[in-house]
Amino acid sequence: MESDRLLSPIERSWSVNPNFGSIERTGSCSSNGSSGGTCTEPHDGETEALYAKQAVVFIEDAIQYRSIDHRVDPTSLCLYRWYYSDICQWILNLNIFVNLALAFIEKPSSLSATSDVRYRGATWELPCGLTEIMEFLTFLVFIADVSVKSYLVGWNEFVKSKWLLCYILTLCVSITDWTISLCFMCQEGVRIRRILRPFFLLQNSSLMKKTLKCIKRTLPEMASVMLLLALHLCLFTMFGMLLFAHSKDSQADAEWRKYFRNLPDSMTSLLVLLTTANNPDVMIPAYSANRAYSLFFIIFTVIGRCV
């Protein structure tokens, strides 16, 4: 009994399904009438090496905050580790940087030696097609990136991954818009793909994805707070317009002229006051006329901070 190893059932020969998650026994069993059956359990170095690679990959996934829903067969593991190697990630990050940096040299670009419009000469414009070629090269890298990612996660995980589906959709829209730019010889008025470029940076960061997921979960709570703050702002705006109404006294009328002339101005003044950006500038004209008016602004600020 003491010679039996504790982990012997775990060390049986298993083959890993490339579709991730399913395993099946590869040992062969035969039965006879006298002994009831015998099983052959092959112990080869390749199986143990595969287990070691899987363990290493899962540990790396945990350290880098990556998902473990991917293929774990030997070929996919080699591709997976190569994809997340330093040189591949460096190339991908450089590609994202180049794609985002195109905004500095594309028309209309304000990149010049001086920011003073009085001394700024004619802006230097690249010939049509040069930035488009650079952008198309970045698209090729993105296409290779999404192809490798889609293969590694498998079809079942691919159809459930909103990030990968949005990645493909963004690429399709960008390439379509890029084709339109070439057809119009760089004279089109709107380039939709420019506002989609930050997505390539966003989808490449696991921590950024988790941050957005956390923000999404807190949006309902934030919405209730924003609604309460809006009601507080509207209520005190109406009070302020009644309290600082138009009058014949020029000194008492200073608050109305500057900050409470109409509803948009009144709401904007109190909103900025709540953020303390112009505190106590909004209160000064009314405070100069009567110190008691400061109670209105103090109560508004205190309640707004509590909200």
Percent of the chain with pLDDT over 90: 25
User: 298-307, pLDDT tens digit by residue?
Assistant: 888 888 887 6
> Is pLDDT of 155 > 80?
yes
User: 60-110, pLDDT tens digit by residue?
Assistant: 888 887 888 888 888 888 899 899 999 999 999 999 999 999 988 888 776
> Is pLDDT of 33 > 50?
no
* CATH topology for the 218-306 domain: Helix Hairpins (1.10.287)
**CB of 47 closer than 8 Å to CB of 14:** yes
> Is pLDDT of 238 > 80?
yes
pTM of the model: 0.65
What average pLDDT does the chain have?
80
> Is pLDDT of 44 > 90?
no
What per-residue confidence (pLDDT) applies to 257? Answer: 77
Q: How confident is the model at residue 250 (pLDDT cuts 50, 70, 90)?
A: low
What per-residue confidence (pLDDT) applies to 41? Answer: 46
What per-residue confidence (pLDDT) applies to 61? Answer: 85
Task: Read off the pLDDT of each residue in 159-177 and give the average, rounded to a whole number.
Answer: 94
| Other C-beta atoms lying within 10 Å of the C-beta of residue 114 | 9
User: 123-146, pLDDT tens digit by residue?
Assistant: 777 788 888 999 999 999 999 999
Q: HSE on the CB side for 62, CA within 13 Å?
A: 5
What per-residue confidence (pLDDT) applies to 126? Answer: 79
297 backbone φψ class: left, alpha, beta (φ>0; ψ -120 to 50): alpha
User: 264-297, pLDDT tens digit by residue?
Assistant: 888 888 888 887 766 677 888 888 878 888 888 8
SS (H, E, C) the chain: CCCCCCCCCCCCCEEECCCCCCEEECCEEECCCCCCCEEECCCCHHHHHHHHHHHHHHHHHHHCCCCCCCCCCHHHHHHHHHHCCHHHHHHHHHHHHHHHHHHHCCCCCCCCCCCCCCCCCCCCCCCCCHHHHHHHHHHHHHHHHHHHHHHHHHHHHHHHCHHHHHHHHHHHHHHHHHHHHHHCCCCCCCCCHHHHHHHHHHHCCHHHHHHHHHHHHHHHHHHHHHHHHHHHHHHHHHHHHHHCCCCCCCCCCHHHHHCCCCHHHHHHHHHHHHCCCCCCHHHHHHHHHCHHHHHHHHHHHHHHHHC
Burial per residue of 162-188, b for 16 or more beta-carbon CB atoms within 10 angstroms, e otherwise: eebeebbebbeebbebbeebeeeebee
